[in-house]
Amino acid sequence: MAHAAPRPRIMPRQRPDRIRVFSERAHAVANLAVPVVLGLVYGYWAAANRRYGGPLTGWNILFGFLTALAFAALCMALLSVGPKLRREVHAVLWGAFSGAAVGFLVSQSNMSVMRSAALGVAVAAGVFAFLFYRYYTHEDAQGHRTE
């Protein structure tokens, strides 16, 4: 009498085709720490662009922290909501976020509004094209993510 081979038990949050080097706790900490660190770098960069090499003031520091807070909050929202969306909407949101972030940084320097808008649109289009291609090539025929 033949029996079926036993199947390995898979944890519900793990996928068999992915190799996890770090623990789930390390990934949870990274999901919080990476947007915060990126936000702090972005806020410092925006504040440095805004002061044009002049003296550091309290308003400049406040501007940097508020910019960092907004950037980190939007980045965390995209990281949590994005994977649940269709590939087109997911790529559009990341493209819009990236384009707006670059356009805002350029607008804080002595560049014109048209130049900052043009650079923001160019970055948004590039990020959209790259991410749409990536999301499209990492799906099966029914549109489910394979990664």
Contact 99, 118 (CB under 8 A): no
Query: What's the confidence (pLDDT) of residue 8?
Result: 62
Question: Which sequence spans correspond to the domains of the chain?
Answer: 23-84, 86-141
Distance separating alpha carbons of residues 42 and 64, to the nearest angstrom: 8
Distance separating alpha carbons of residues 64 and 43, to the nearest angstrom: 4
> Residues in the chain, how many?
147
Amino acid (one-letter) located at 9: R
Query: What's the confidence (pLDDT) of residue 45?
Result: 93
Query: What's the confidence (pLDDT) of residue 15?
Result: 54
Query: What's the confidence (pLDDT) of residue 110?
Result: 82
Distance separating alpha carbons of residues 13 and 2, to the nearest angstrom: 32
Nearest to 99 by CA among 79, 76, 63, 129: 129
pTM of the predicted model as reported, rounded to 2 decimal places: 0.78
**Residue 71 CA: distances (Å) to CA of 32, 98, 102, 125:** 13, 10, 11, 20
Q: What is the pLDDT along the chain (147 residues), one digit of tens a residue?
A: 666 666 666 555 555 556 678 888 888 888 899 999 999 999 999 999 888 878 888 999 999 999 999 999 999 999 999 888 888 899 999 999 999 999 999 999 888 899 999 999 999 999 999 999 998 887 766 666 776
Paired tokens of 131: 């991410």
Query: What's the confidence (pLDDT) of residue 136?
Result: 85
Paired tokens of 16: 């068999």
Distance separating alpha carbons of residues 5 and 22, to the nearest angstrom: 30
